[in-house]
Amino acid sequence: MSLTTDEKTEIIKKFERQPGDTGSPEVQIALLSKRITQLTDHLRANKHDESSRRGLLKLVGQRRRLLAYLRQKDYERFLAVTDALSIRRR
């Protein structure tokens, strides 16, 4: 259910701002989005898995906070990330 090493490195390579960058908001948002997608698929198959549902809600909240931070700090990067990941923005 978690991301494999290959998936993580691929996502990091795509969204990193400089080589070796793993902590920028863009990378964190992209990794969270992938995990959210995986958990959403899991919950479609396992409707009564409440602990995974709680984990999903925590991940969505974390991503929302990171998106709000990025929007406040650099709106152009926020737009680029939301377009690349097909995330709705308010």
Q: What is the 3-state secondary structure (H, E, C) of 8-43?
A: HHHHHHHHCCCCCCCCCHHHHHHHHHHHHHHHHHHH
Q: Give the architecture-level CATH label for domain 5-85.
A: Orthogonal Bundle (1.10)
**What are the residue ranges spanned by the domains of the chain?**
5-85
**Does the CA dihedral 32-35-41-42 come out positive or negative?**
negative
pLDDT > 90: percent of the chain = 94
pTM over 0.85: yes
- Predicted confidence (pLDDT) per residue in 44-60, tens digit: 999 999 999 999 999 99
Mean pLDDT of 13-33: 95
